[in-house]
């Protein structure tokens, strides 16, 4: 997935009201950028850390800047939580996820369950349907360890219950975690931050829902799905 160009470098002053970030650019301008991340951004929204923003001329948007990347302890981290769906869409088109290869058709944002939409519905006459839910991961509190979620997510637990129902109906159900950073080797649910989600994830696995976790190659120019990470419940 290509990132917008050019990106302007600066340093994060503060992130606030969930969707706003004040950033001091290298040219001396202090700007307010849109932050496309509704989560807590624990360990990612580090005041004083390097930050990159894109600038646009869309008159329909209130803010002309969007926060795209941060750098924490030398690691580039994309902050936009909508990136993983775009990254996975490209990877599916390229056949870069072997576990999800061989399906004839891919549809996105398909209604299912109780007023939910599945991120990807893979369909094939021979294989049957495969429902794939994608989650963004950027939390890492210990070297090499990626964790999700970074705050309580009732919505995430709901999605797991929906996937259990899918599996019980006879279809394939997959939970795919996309780690938007390069320094992790292992994924684990953050049970101390959201015990209910960790419990729901365990229940999903027990019901036959498949778990996948991939990290990404991240540069200032693009973010691309890279390699499978081990999962520990």
Confidence of residue 81 (pLDDT cuts 50, 70, 90): very high
| Strand residue runs (E) in 73-182 | 75-78, 105-112, 116-123, 130-137, 139-142, 144-148, 172-179
Confidence of residue 9 (pLDDT cuts 50, 70, 90): very high
Please tell me whether residue 166 adopts helix, strand or coil conformation.
helix
Residue 16's pLDDT is: 97
Identify whether residues 97 and 116 lie together within a single domain.
yes
Q: What percent of the chain has pLDDT over 70?
A: 100
Q: What's the rounded Cα separation, in Å, for the pair 104 and 89? A: 14
Residue 113's pLDDT is: 84
Identify whether residues 70 and 150 lie together within a single domain.
no
Cis peptide before 6 (omega within 30 of 0): yes
Identify whether residues 148 and 204 lie together within a single domain.
yes
> Which of 32, 50, 77 is the endpoint of a domain?
77
Residue 19's pLDDT is: 96
Identify whether residues 66 and 103 lie together within a single domain.
no
- Which contiguous run of DSSP H or E holds residue 204? helix 195-206
List pLDDT tens digits, range 118-141: 999 999 999 999 999 999 999 999
Confidence of residue 61 (pLDDT cuts 50, 70, 90): confident
In a domain, 180, yes or no: yes
Expressed as residue numbers, the domain containing 214 is: 83-231
Tell me the mean pLDDT in the region 25-36.
97
Q: Is residue 38's pLDDT more than 80?
A: yes
Identify whether residues 109 and 218 lie together within a single domain.
yes
Give the number of domains in the chain: 2
Q: At 58, list the tokens.
A: 């869309």
In a domain, 1, yes or no: no
129 contacts 136 by C-beta, under 8 angstroms: no
Comparing 77-86, 107-116, 127-136, 157-166, which segment has the lowest mean pLDDT? 107-116
Q: Is residue 59's pLDDT more than 80?
A: no
Please tell me whether residue 163 adopts helix, strand or coil conformation.
helix
Identify whether residues 198 and 130 lie together within a single domain.
yes
Q: At 172, list the tokens.
A: 């394939």
Q: Is residue 58's pLDDT more than 90?
A: no
Q: What's the rounded Cα separation, in Å, for the pair 193 and 151? A: 6
Identify whether residues 66 and 173 lie together within a single domain.
no
Identify whether residues 127 and 215 lie together within a single domain.
yes
Q: Reduced to 3 DSSP states, what percent helix, strand and coil does the chain have, rounded to the nearest 5?
A: 20, 45, 35
Residue 45: give its domain's CATH number. Answer: 2.40.50.580
Average pLDDT, the chain: 96
In a domain, 2, yes or no: no
């Amino acid at each position: 997935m290509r990132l917008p160009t050019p990106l302007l470098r600066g340093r994060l002053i503060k992130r606030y009201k969930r969707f706003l970030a004040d950033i001091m650019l290298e040219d001396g301008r202090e700007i307010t950028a849109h932050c496309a991340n509704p989560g807590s951004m624990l360990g990612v929204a580090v005041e004083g850390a390097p930050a990159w923003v894109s600038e646009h001329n869309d008159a329909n948007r209130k803010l002309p800047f969007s926060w795209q990347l941060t750098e924490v302890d030398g690691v580039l981290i994309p902050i936009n939580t909508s990136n993983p769906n775009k990254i996975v869409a490209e990877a599916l088109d390229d056949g870069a996820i072997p576990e999800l290869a061989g399906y004839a058709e891919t549809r996105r944002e398909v209604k299912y369950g109780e007023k939910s939409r599945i991120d990807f519905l893979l369909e094939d006459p021979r294989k049957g349907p495969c429902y794939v839910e994608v989650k963004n991961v950027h939390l890492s509190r210990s070297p090499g360890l990626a964790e999700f979620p970074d705050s309580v997510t009732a919505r995430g637990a709901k999605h797991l219950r929906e996937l259990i129902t899918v599996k019980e109906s006879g279809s394939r159900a997959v939970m795919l975690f996309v780690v938007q950073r390069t320094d992790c080797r292992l994924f684990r649910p953050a049970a101390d931050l959201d015990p209910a989600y960790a419990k729901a994830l365990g229940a999903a696995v027990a019901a036959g829902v498949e778990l996948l976790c991939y990290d990404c190659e991240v540069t200032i120019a693009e973010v691309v799905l890279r390699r499978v990470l081990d999962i520990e419940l």
